[in-house]
Structure 1
Amino acid sequence: MTDHDSSTSDYFLRIFHGQAFGNFIFLNILGYTLFKDSIQLIADVCQSIIVLATLMAFYVERAFFTRNRIFQLLCLALVVQSLSWVASRQFVPDYALKYPSVKSMAYLFFFLGLAYWLKGDPRRIVITLLTFCLGVIFTFAYHSSFFSIVETGLDGARVDFNYRNAQHGSLIAGACFLFFVLLLLTSKFRKLSLGNAGILLGILLFGVFSVILQSRQSWLAISASLAILPLLGGGEHWPRRKVVLTYAILLMTMLALYQVSFIRERLLAGFVHQGDVHAILTGNWNEVRDFSIGVRLKTWLEAIQWFLAHPFFGTGYGSQSLVITLSKTLPDYITREFRHLHNSNMETLVCWGVAGFLVLYGTLFSVLRQVLCCPVSSRFIKMLAISFILYWLIINNFESFFYMRSGQWVFSVFMGAIYSTALHWELNRLGKEGHENLRH
């Protein structure tokens, strides 16, 4: 390398690692986080800049990323999707894509770029999550007459803020609710300050959103995530008396909410048809008459048959709709109206088989393991990692949020925030090891 090339490279690295460039990318992260599902032009520009900067990071930090488990899983995801496309050319040639599509699984790894550019900075992590919460409110207001919709919801009608449907709104609102609850539980709540008042307001606001959107899957996921939180505190932060008190408060809150007529009616709505519970428990899913539950169970039966026919790599992107459109047993109201399977696990198995399923779950649990084993991860980050991943796994058993815009939005932001500290601790540790090796 000539002196000129060396000086050019040094100049590039100074800019790349400089504070100004880092602040610029952080600004784009906030733009993406705020506008992803509202003013999409702004979000797409910000996202493109983040992707380009992340590709540069992969090159600049290539010695690190080639050893990073999440990056390795990203590369494996690209390979699996390509092999699934090959399988589709063999098993469903009339419906196979002309070229392989790798974007669906690859997009889920966008969080790796966010984690890198947040630089493990606790302040930036919290600001990003707060911006997401503001983005949720802005998105609801952008798509609807916000205050009148809230008023309608408080009167007992199910609302969706004209944002796709209520399931999508409940997903993003529920994630925000969990975030504020965790802020409350991990803050030093000694006296009422402006910050603590803001946290309580956030809990109230997103709690109201979660109630009026009336999504049972979201209520289940939130309840399970809240139920494990007292067990995650441990030690001096959560003495037994505090754990018991917390569970008592949760139980009383749930009982109080159950007394609200429209909440009780929504919870019981899936069991109005006699024989449905028996049909579910005995495996006669085609006999279930409830519309919401019936659609899911009947399409899952078709998906299971498709998966068993192509278990290893599936049949590529788009197979989730083929399961429905090519079915000879699904009723017409399903084949006419639906093109997804209401379950991310089913869609993963159908499209990319066991290989894709292992890549996705390997990614989730690799992030969780690294966060929990990282000595500099805060109690807030560790609790957020466990509760959010549990929330995400539960809610994706009833919708295909892994592969929908709203799901990719919340997944990217929360997983990026969760993983950032552990990623940069690993990066700094390997950098120090390399420096020590050079000294010796």
Structure 2
Amino acid sequence: MWLLLAALIVQTISWSLAVWHHPEWAASNPKLDRLAKLFIFIAVAWFLGGSTRNTLLIWGLAFVGWLIATFAYGNGLEEWWAGLNGKRAGLGYRNAQHGSMLFGAALLGLIAFTARFSRVQGRLVPWRIAVSLVLIGICLTGISIGQTRAVWLGLTLAISVAAAMWLIQALLRSKNKPAHLARQLIVFASGLLIVFIAVTVIFQGTLKHRLLQESPVVEKLIEGDVSAIPYSSIGIRIHSWRAALEWIEERPLVGWGSEGRGLVMDHTPWFPTEIKERFGHLHNYFLEVWVAYGLLGVLVVAALAFWVGRGTWLAWRGGVMPNDMALFAVAFFVYWLVVNQFESYIAVSSGVYVQNLVLGGLVTHIWRWQHVSGHRVFMHRWSRQK
């Protein structure tokens, strides 16, 4: 709540100074929802009541709802079929990146919780494993037809970090059970590898095309000639980041107000007219916050990330947050940090939806840990006094 208050104050300060410094560009009001919507998770966490079961249920329902939405909105099956035939599909979103991002977040959840879902009373159930693999395959397909390189990069890094942490924990827990650990590794890795190979073979042409498409941009970057970078997908991002840094340099502490990202795109003189007409954002959420609200806004977002991260670790260490949920939290943090470097997901409805659902589930466990640990401290002090 203190961070929410800080977000409201920072936005008000930035808007007030914008009205004073450049009134012709300032918004008619401070638009406090821009940062306040990052805190919707407070209501979600309260609703979940500290329950792991409730958290997994609402996350599962959210995933099922998203799957249904991909068929109910847009062109439904036709869009899926077009994606399978190599066309980039948005699955109901105007921008295909958002559908790909949602499937990426869902994939991390499926990987993290497949072991939990696949077991009944400690035993693996074949049909449950099959269902998990089918759902993972659907997510990989959705990610592939979305053709979003930032999501591919984010997932690669997130899964790598999570896999390394899982392996370390598994080795520490299974020092005297090498056979049990080996079976777990073989079953998990084999199933995931089969699905991954199948998707790679099916979408080999698409993957190769998207990865090689930006080679001219890479060449210019290597040469150091940034101004000559073509306005391709990655090129537009690099130019918008370059422009954002120029504007940040002028007002680094308090920013330009809530309209900052639009000002950068509309009033940077060296931007081509076509780019100004097509885009109104900077393809990087953290730069957008810095342009709009200065270093004060960035510190609020960083403080929120630190508080949730630290609380998640403490809740896990205190035995309140399950291992698989903590592992998902780590993977999601890496994924979310990466993808928002290339697209401002947190600033739009899809990102607000994902972030507040995930943070709500994590924070409800943090509050539960705070309650349990506070109760333990109280009982310890009471017993000593007694």
Using the size of structure 2 for normalisation, the TM-score is 0.87
Which residue does the alignment assign to 2:350? 406
Aligned partner of 1:416 in structure 2 is 360
Match among 277, 282, 285 for residue 336 of structure 1:
277
Q: Find the partner of 2:97 among 163, 167, 186.
A: 167
**CA–CA separation in structure 2 for the residues paired with 1:281 and 1:84:** 37
1:367 is displaced (CA, Å) by 0.6
Is 2:77 the partner of 1:139? no
Task: Name the structure 2 match of 1:308.
Answer: 249
For residue 265 of structure 1, report the CA deviation from its aligned partner: 1.1
1:371 and 1:382 in contact (8 A); partners too = yes
Provide the secondary structure at the position in 1 that maps to 2:214: helix
1:375-394 equivalence runs, <5 A: 375=318, 376-394=320-338
Q: 2:145: which partner in 1?
A: 212
Work out the CA distance in 1 between the residues paired with 2:184 and 2:372.
Answer: 36
User: Match of 1:396?
Assistant: 340
For residue 365 of structure 1, what is the aligned residue in structure 2? 306
Q: Residue 32 of structure 2 aligns with which residue?
A: 102
**Please, which of 231, 236, 253 is the counterpart of residue 173 of structure 2?**
236
Q: Cα–Cα, structure 1 residues 198 and 349, in superposed 2: closer, same or farther, change >3 Å?
A: same
SS at match of 2:28: coil
Per-residue CA deviations over 1:46-70 (Å, capped at 9, x if unaligned) read xxxxxxxxxxxxxxxxxxxxxxxxx
Q: What's the TM-score, normalizing by structure 1?
A: 0.77
Q: CA deviation at 1:139?
A: 2.1
Contact between 1:76 and 1:359, CA under 8 Å: does it hold in 2?
yes
Number of the residue aligned with 1:27:
none
Deviation at 1:316, TM superposition (A): 1.4
Residues 143-292 of structure 1 aligned to structure 2 (within 5 Å): 143-185=73-115, 190-233=123-166, 234=169, 235-236=172-173, 260-271=204-215, 273=216, 276-292=217-233
Distance 1:430 1:78 in 2: 29
Q: CA deviation at 1:200?
A: 2.1
Out of 97-106 and 230-239, give the one that drifted further: 230-239
Partner deviation per Cα, 1:338-394 (whole Å, 9 max, x = no partner): 111111011011001111111112211211111111211110111011100111010
1:145: Cα distance to partner?
2.8
How much does 1:90 deviate? 2.8
Structure 1 residues 316 and 156: CA distance shift in structure 2, 3 A = same
What SS does structure 2 have at the residue aligned with 1:399?
coil
CA distance in 2, matches of 1:237, 1:333: 59
TM-superposed CA distance for 1:434, in Å, is: 6.2
- The 1:231–1:87 alpha-carbon spacing in structure 2 relative to 1, beyond 3 Å, is same
* TM-aligned CA distance change 1:237 to 1:216, over 3 Å: farther
Alpha carbons 1:258, 1:264 under 8 Å: kept = no
Which fold has the larger relative contact order, with Cα–Cα distance below 8 Å and residues 6 or more apart in sequence?
A: 2
Unaligned runs of 5+ in 1: 1-70
The number of residue pairs the alignment matches comes to 367
**TM-fit CA distance, 1:284:** 2.9
1:97: how far off?
2.1
In structure 2, list runs of 5 or more residues that go unmatched.
none
Q: CA separation of 1:155/1:175 partners in 2, compared to 1, >3 Å: closer, same or farther?
A: same
CA distance in 1, matches of 2:15, 2:49: 36
User: In the alignment, is the contact (CA less than 8 A) between 1:140 and 1:163 conserved in 2?
Assistant: no
Q: Which amino acid is the alignment partner of residue 78 of structure 2?
A: S
Tell me, yes or no, if the aligned pair for 2:340 and 2:346 is still in contact at 8 Å. yes
2:44, 2:356 within 8 Å by CA — same for their partners in 1?
Answer: yes
- The aligned residue for residue 430 of structure 1 is 374
Aligned to 1:294: 235
CA deviations on 1:309-348 (whole Å, 9 max, x unpaired) are 1101112111100111111111111111111111101101
